[in-house]
A and B are shown apart, each in its own frame.
Chain A
């Protein structure tokens, strides 16, 4: 299994509080991704990173920010959590985003976040 650790694994917090989720990888992969998984929506991309300090938005980036100060760590921050951000969050990594080569994404075990 790819060396991906997400922390915390579970979190319950209140509306309006800041929340930071961490993804740590030991594979030295260049690309890292944050997804959220909700019933009926599958996986939706929030943000991704293509290198240290290089990030870009996904399809559901509103209300989220990310940072990548080291190759191995990718942080997802909810500045002021809302109940609509209750979800399961997955981090993924890949060596490249080159569709001409077989470079699938590998996933962490997820963080279950509940916002009351």
Chain B
């Protein structure tokens, strides 16, 4: 069945780049999304990429898509303390449902 997988934790030093990885199983996915969840809040849409693109840049965020390997990544440049959150990868599957990964908790070291 459809599945989206992410590593659970990532720790980076403030000012470094963070790279959060995601793999998915549905080769028919159209849109892929990254959401950010801060403590006590809901999921906030950060960015998206369409399946016919391989890269999308939006200020400090860069999304890379390797459709052959079904691998999606989110790079955050110059990571700040305000970037501490849980990041969810999600795909729009062939069943017209959005499937979410389990989330990657990003923590920032001073």
Contacts and interface: CB of A to CB of B under 8 A. Distances in A.
Interface in A74-116: 90, 92, 97-100, 102, 104-110
B88 A102 contact: no
Nearest to B43: A107
A104 B45 contact: yes
B96 to A, nearest CB: 5
A92 B43 CA distance: 9
B24 interface: no
A14 B9 CA distance: 33
B70 to A, nearest CB: 16
Given A102-B50, A104-B31, A109 B40 contact: yes
A100 B30 contact: yes
Contacts of B101: 42
Interface residues of A, number: 21
Contacts of B90: 104
Interface string B78-110: 000000000010101110111011110000000
Contacts of B50: 102
Given A45-B97, A99-B93, A40 B102 contact: yes
Given A40-B102, A45-B97, A107-B42, 14 more contacts: A42-B103, A90-B43, A92-B43, A98-B96, A99-B92, A99-B94, A102-B48, A104-B31, A104-B45, A104-B98, A106-B45, A107-B43, A109-B42, A110-B40
Interface of B: 8, 30-31, 33, 35, 40-45, 48, 50, 88, 90, 92-94, 96-98, 100-103
